[in-house]
Structure formats: C-alpha cells, structure tokens
Structure 1
Amino acid sequence: MGRGRAKAKQTKVARDLKYRTHEVDIGALARELHGDDSSEKRDAEVPEDLDKWSDYADPRD
C-alpha cells in the first residue's frame, strides 16, 4: 500500500515526456557528440586562483 501517489507521479512525468514538444539544438548536440576543439582548449586552461592552491592538493590525485 502507499504506492498510488508515487505511481501517479511517475505516470504524469511519463505522459509529460511523451507528449510535450521539446526544442532540440541539433548543432549543440552534434558538437557534444563529435567533440569540439574550442571546448577542449577551454578545459585545458587552469584559472589562477586554482593554481595558487595546487601546493595543498592531495598528491594521490
């Protein structure tokens, strides 16, 4: 007992996902799936405030 409310919420969410139209940015999806050179360059840069704390970092990481 007590599952009725949870099942009703799951049903509501499932219907919402099934019937709602979602805006899809195909270009962003393609960049995410195929990789983007500019995003790799942004990730490689270390902010200055993180660099000053690197002496305190755990050496195992």
Structure 2
Amino acid sequence: MGRGRQKAKATKQAREMKYFTPATDYSALQRELAGPTSRPSSRYPEEPAEPDYSAYEDKYADQFGDDDDDEGTSRRIG
C-alpha cells in the first residue's frame, strides 16, 4: 500500500534536486581556484634527489658472485 506514496516522494525529491539552484559565490570560487598567492619554489630545495652510492659500487663486488646465470638450472621441489 505504501509504494505509491514512496514513489511520489522519491519523484518529488528528485525534481527538487534537479531544479534547485543555490546562490553561487563567484568570488569565493575564484579564490579557491586561484590558490595561494605565494608558493615556495620547491618542497625540498637543499636535499638531493638520491644519495650518491658510487663509493660503494665495486667495494663488495668480489665477495658476492653473479648468481644471475644459475637461475635457469635450479629446480623447485615442493
């Protein structure tokens, strides 16, 4: 019995939302879209992008062999 009223209420709400036009504050919109007036040039101006690891490049190369060649010969069990 309540389906007709429920549908009428939903239709009324949909119509109100469709045709509702609130007052728009264009100056507030312009301020929001413009953003802050003074912005820093960089977030981290003095910090390098990545530390320099070139001193460690070949320091440990003789301790560890290249295991890349043996990957195809090993089998998994289990």
More helix by share: 1
TM-score grouping bracket, smaller chain normalisation: 0.3 to 0.5
Larger Rg: 2
Structure-1-length-normalised TM-score: 0.36
